[in-house]
Every structure is written in structure tokens, then in C-alpha cells.
């Protein structure tokens, strides 16, 4: 699939506007399905989202990035928090958040002695320096959740 031509087609069909820049595959994207670069107008997309979730969901990701693209070049609010972005995304049936491709892996589990609040962490925490954010109680180290 020629990605730029696909994005141009989606832009014409769903937005009625031309996409005049380049769309490229980027396998390094892990937490997102796509990315818009305002400085040069190009779009990056994660090919794993197309492979894993199919073309219907991938098209919604393309619509999401095209919302950023078209609003930016119209001088309107193109960020996630802007009302214009939210309205346009809803009109074109774009997806707000791309589904996760990878499970979060937490290596350490800590809990508060006082209130029982659980904290999952990827890195080890010095229990002498940190307390519970909820009640200021002392933290205890639970058994590792993912032992290798």
C-alpha cells in the first residue's frame, strides 16, 4: 500500500480537502497510532496498527491525524484540548485514542501500610525517600510481579 496515496484518498473522501505533504511508516511509534509534524506537515503512522487491528480502525487513526493537519493549516485549534479539534474529529468519525499494541509491564509492586493504596512501578523505589501520596503512610515492597 502506498501510504501517501491512501492518506490523500482519505483526505479527499472524508474532508473534501487535499493532503499536500508526505505520509510515512514509522515502526518506532509505540504508544500512538500516528503523529503529525507541524514544522514540515508530514504524518507518521505505525504499520502495526494496520496489521493488528485492520483497515477500518487504521482509517480512523488516519482521520485523527488529518484533523490535526487540516486544522493546523487553517489556523484553527489543532491540539487535542481544542474544541475545534474535538468537533471535527467527531464529524469525520475519527478515533480519539488508538488501542494499545503492547501490555504495560510493571516490575515492582508497592503498597501503603496504612491505607492499602497499591503502586505499580517499572523501576525500583527507595522506600526511605517515598511515602504514600494518599495518606502519607509508609510503603512496603510486595513480591515482584514480572520475574525474569
- Tell me the pLDDT tens digit for each residue of 21-56: 999 999 999 889 999 999 999 999 999 999 999 999
Low-confidence ranges of the chain (pLDDT < 50): 145, 147-148
Q: Rounded distance, CA 144 to CA 62, Å?
A: 39
Q: Which of 13, 51, 55, 65 does the annotation list as catalytic?
A: 65
**Domain shared by 66 and 133, yes or no:** no
Q: Are residues 114 and 66 in the same domain?
A: no
- pLDDT at residue 102 in the model: 81
Angstrom distance (rounded) from CA 44 to CA 25: 6
Range of the domain at 125: 108-141
Q: Has 55 been annotated as catalytic? A: no
Confidence (pTM):
0.73
Number of domain units in the chain = 2
Please tell me whether residues 21 and 57 are part of one structural domain. yes
**Predicted pLDDT at 148:** 45
Amino acid at each position: 500500500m502506498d501510504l501517501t496515496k491512501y492518506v490523500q484518498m482519505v483526505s479527499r473522501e472524508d474532508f473534501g480537502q487535499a493532503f499536500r505533504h508526505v505520509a510515512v511508516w514509522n515502526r518506532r511509534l509505540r504508544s500512538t497510532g500516528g503523529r503529525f509534524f507541524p514544522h514540515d506537515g508530514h504524518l507518521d503512522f505505525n504499520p502495526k496498527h494496520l496489521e493488528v487491528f485492520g483497515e477500518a480502525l487504521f482509517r480512523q487513526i488516519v482521520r485523527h491525524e488529518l484533523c490535526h493537519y487540516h486544522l493546523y493549516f487553517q489556523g484553527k485549534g489543532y491540539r487535542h484540548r481544542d474544541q475545534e479539534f474535538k468537533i471535527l474529529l467527531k464529524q469525520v468519525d475519527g478515533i480519539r485514542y488508538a488501542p494499545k499494541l503492547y501490555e504495560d509491564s510493571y516490575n515492582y509492586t508497592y503498597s501503603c501500610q496504612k491505607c492499602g493504596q497499591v503502586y505499580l512501578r517499572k523501576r525500583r523505589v527507595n522506600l526511605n525517600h517515598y511515602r504514600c501520596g494518599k495518606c502519607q503512610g509508609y510503603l512496603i515492597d510486595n513480591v515482584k510481579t514480572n520475574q525474569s
